[in-house]
Structure 1
Amino acid sequence: MASRGRDCSIADALEVVGERWSMLALREVLLGERRFNQIAENTGASRDILAARLRKLVDAGVLEKRKYEDHPPRFEYFPTESAKALQPVLLGLMQWGDRYVHQGPPPTVYEHDCGAELHVKSVCEHCGEPVASRGLHPVRVGAVRGS
């Protein structure tokens, strides 16, 4: 996808999922909601807006749409690998909102299978050190470091 300004995968990703109702629909599907009416109820999105966002997520390969009833036609939505890869992004956004936006105790807490409260942490895959903005250095593809 072409973006204006800096060539950036963040901008490209936001073209697919960077809208409130898309992210909330994705949250619901990743939490196990599959049917349109339940997704609409849990997100508060209007039916027209939700239908458009779900269609965009399906077209982008983030969700898979499967028919479960013929008359009238009704569909369920399932996460693809692409959607599952967004789980840490959603959890990180929730943590940021809990800390900097939401007033009072967090409205939702997630637990890991081990029973501990789940918190997302960014670490370098190579050395295991926590990622901090002071340690990030953009390198253009094909660029030589130090030049």
Structure 2
Amino acid sequence: MLNENNNEEIIDELKKIVKQKGLKYTEQREIVLNILLHAKEHLTAEEIYNQIKKDYKDSNIGIATVYRALSFLEEVDLITSITFGTDGKKYESNAKSHHDHLICTSCGKIIEFIDDEIEKRQDKIAKKNKFKITSHSMQLYGTCDTCQDS
């Protein structure tokens, strides 16, 4: 789990980005980012909205504001999303170390994994093609063991 100091640094980064862009700093963006920093799983906008209603009862944040905050946070690369076609997106903080995803197309379950061999292979392929990787995202789609058994 991330430590609180790291979370504070990420919130400071948000404040710096907003200032650089000449935008007004909003508590709503910070609340959405905070929820994702503490989330143990990938969350939909609706799940984030429900968490806000539960944890920040005094805030008056609507679902449209959540979507706008998510869009902004993704645009400035503080969060990432995984798209589920017509089912929408699930979000996570970029504060975690690099990992890839197995995604169940039946139930939407997301399994995070790290594989050093895959990482080495990608680097080797890039080098062979005189290509410099600046970032990457791997998402493997299929069905989880629970959905295979149903």
Query: TM-score normalised by the shorter chain: which range applies?
Result: 0.3 to 0.5
More strand by share: 2
Higher percent of residues as helix: 2
Q: TM-score, normalized by length of structure 2?
A: 0.41
Q: Which has the larger radius of gyration?
A: 1
Q: TM-score, normalised by structure 1?
A: 0.42
Quick one: higher RCO (CA 8 Å, sep 6+), 1 or 2? 2
